[in-house]
Amino acid sequence: MDSRRESSETLRNKCAACYRQYNRMEHLVEHMKVNYHSVHEPRCGVCGKHCRSFESLREHLIGPLPKVECARVFSVRGCSICLNIFDSNAAVRHHRAACQYTRAAPMPRGGITGRAVALACKMVGGVNDGSVDLCARVCLIGEDENIIFQTYVKPTAPVTNYRYEVTGIRPEYLRDAMPLKVAQRRIQEILCNGEPLWKLRPRSYGRAKILVGHGLDHDLERLGLEYPAFMIRDTAKYPPLMKTSKMSNSLKYLTQAYLGYEIQTGIEDPYEDCVAAMRLYIRMRSQAHPRDYNSGSGEVQNNYPAWRQRELERMSPEELLALSASDYYCWCLDY
């Protein structure tokens, strides 16, 4: 009798998203308040469990200590790149050809660039020990992966380390390169696309471009550019693409894990970084999530006011989940 009571109690206090169990309902309510579960979280295609990131979903499915039943199904019908489950082994094999990208970019198609542009820089070293990053090369591409703008940039301080093995940059490439001010203006024009910067608002930014990249804070800072945070999609800071520890993954790792090919194997080309970041962005944007769901603008807010505590403790785990909203702006909402 007692054990039966206990098991139904525990079941009632099981989070409907991540399946964590609590002895007391008030602890589940606390859990929901700080976890910001939502329909936009990566989910296991077998058991439906929500995960904070694709990395934790990967651990759930592939290991080192996976959920046994899910891992068994995944090994037969799962795609190790997008982590989706398919109807049959044949369906996965068919799907993989489209899911795995190759290093080669598609042939330029011209014209359409879409609403997003990707930006990447390569930095050389300045100041005595060469530890200060100076932007020496910048590239911008459109959604079609065609180059919109690419140039060497004349660094604003003396270069003490060209970092040739990584950047492939020689002194003569920078001697008559474009001054930083000119590159700045050109990039700002591309991003704003005719809209005044001060006029841009989260849901009304007209023709201005969404800016995609990896670690964009640093790139923009080195370029001396400002762009509103709500226009930026950074693959280093997007929660579903971050580590379980909430640290950023490298672009090299993300490209290997979620696009299925290698980048940055020798001399690094900013164009290649742009393509990888854009492909990751488009992949995240194409996630099938409900569009009418209120995921907010990325501001931290929870829907569990303290005055409703008693009412919340009487709700079912499903009802609690239905109230929950994510604390980040899901990129699927750009689509």
CB of 312 to Zn ion, least distance (A): 14
17 binds Zn ion (CB under 5 A): yes
Is residue 177 within 8 Å of residue 205, measured between CB atoms?
Answer: no
Pick 57 or 105: Cβ nearer Zn ion? 57
Establish if 263 lies at the interface with Zn ion (CB under 5 A).
no
Establish if 120 lies at the interface with Zn ion (CB under 5 A): no
Task: Locate the DSSP E strands across 34-175.
Answer: 116-126, 132-142, 147-154, 159-161
3-class secondary structure, 301: coil
Contact status: 191 vs Zn ion (CB under 5 A): no
Touching Zn ion, residues 79-118 (CB under 5 A): 79, 81-82, 99
Cα 120-166-269 angle, rounded to 5 deg: 35
Residue by residue, DSSP assigns 219-275 as HHHHHT----GGGEEETTT-GGGS-TTSPPPPHHHHHHHHT-----SSS--HHHHHH
Peptide bond into 64 cis (omega under 30): yes
How far, in Å, CA of 192 to CA of 190, rounded? 6
Q: How far is the CB of 12 from Zn ion (least distance, A)?
A: 14
Q: Which of residues 29-68 bind Zn ion (CB under 5 A)?
A: 40, 44, 46-47, 49, 67
* Size of site (CB under 5 A) for Zn ion: 17
SS3 208: coil
Select from 57, 177, 236, 332 the one that contacts Zn ion (CB under 5 A): 332
Name the one range near Zn ion by CB under 5 A: 76-84, 118-126, 240-248, 311-319.
76-84
Residue 315 or 332: which CB sits closer to Zn ion?
332
Instruction: State yes or no: residue 289 binds Zn ion (CB under 5 A).
Output: yes
Instruction: Provide the minimum distance between the beta carbon of 111 and Zn ion in the complex, in angstroms, as a whole number.
Output: 29
Q: Which amino acid is at 197?
A: L
Residues that bind Zn ion (CB under 5 A): 15, 17-18, 40, 44, 46-47, 49, 67, 70, 79, 81-82, 99, 289, 330, 332
